[in-house]
Amino acid sequence: MTEDTPIRLLLADDHPVVRAGLRAVLETEPGLVVVAEAATAENAVARATEGDIDVVLMDLQFGKGMGGAEATAQITARPDAPRVVVITTYDSDADTLTAIEAGATGYLLKDAPPEDLAAAVRTAAVGRTTLAPTVAERLMNRLRTPGTALTRRETEVLALVADGLSNQAISHRLHLTEGTVKSHLARVYTKLGVGSRTAAVATATDLGLIRR
């Protein structure tokens, strides 16, 4: 990609107002062109394969059907895939780690200043990563204190506890044995310094590890 080549964008969000807002911001920027929109994650995956997209701006939540993280994984798994920048309202570890592991090049919050959004798109287009400041700070903290950081699976289990699921229901949802679920929770309790499901959920929410 040369400096004279426009960066071609796909906006993937189930809210028309959000897509319109992103388009209004990005199309005022030189060298950025919105060539398509998608209202579902499934449509985003299909549209991203047509070969004329450089960067996908991806929401995480699409209501029913596929989520943004799964769509990101499917898009980035293909050869010569476009880059994906997640644009979301959620900054918990449960969301950010899933999106980054799925292959997202950037992760921004929807309240980011327009100049940050445009900069993230340009950075992603050349293969470099941009993270929202709160996300970057927590990832750095995870690296500094790996013994207290929750794994992705521990985070998934705790998020389901927060949703009110029993150990049995969690085991079915995640295709784990109940014993494995209990082991994950035991490690969560130790890492968070708590002794109950309620305390674990409250502490993890306060720390931004999960959202409720």
Please write the tens of the pLDDT for every residue from 73-109.
Answer: 999 999 899 999 999 988 777 788 889 889 999 999 9
> Quick one: 179 exposed, middle or buried, by C-beta within 10 A (0-12, 13-18, 19+)?
exposed
Give the pLDDT of residue 180: 93
What average pLDDT is seen over the chain? 90
Residue entry with tokens 């997209």: 53
Does the domain at 7-141 match CATH 3.40.50.2300? Answer given as yes
Does the domain at 152-206 match CATH 3.40.630.90? Answer given as no
> Quick one: 117 exposed, middle or buried, by C-beta within 10 A (0-12, 13-18, 19+)?
buried
Tell me the C-alpha distance between 131 and 174, whole Å.
Answer: 28
pTM of the model: 0.73
Instruction: Please state which of the ranges 33-37, 90-94, 153-157, 162-166 shows the lowest mean pLDDT.
Output: 90-94
Separation of first and last alpha carbons in the chain: 41
H/E segment holding residue 6: none
Helix axis angle, 167-174 relative to 178-192, nearest 10°?
110
- Stretch 123-137: mean pLDDT, rounded? 89
Tell me the C-alpha distance between 113 and 93, whole Å.
Answer: 22
- Stretch 36-61: mean pLDDT, rounded? 96
Instruction: Please state which of the ranges 4-8, 32-36, 124-128, 158-162 shows the lowest mean pLDDT.
Output: 4-8
Domain boundaries in the chain? 7-141, 152-206
- pLDDT band for position 147 (50/70/90)? low
Give the pLDDT of residue 145: 67
- pLDDT band for position 146 (50/70/90)? low
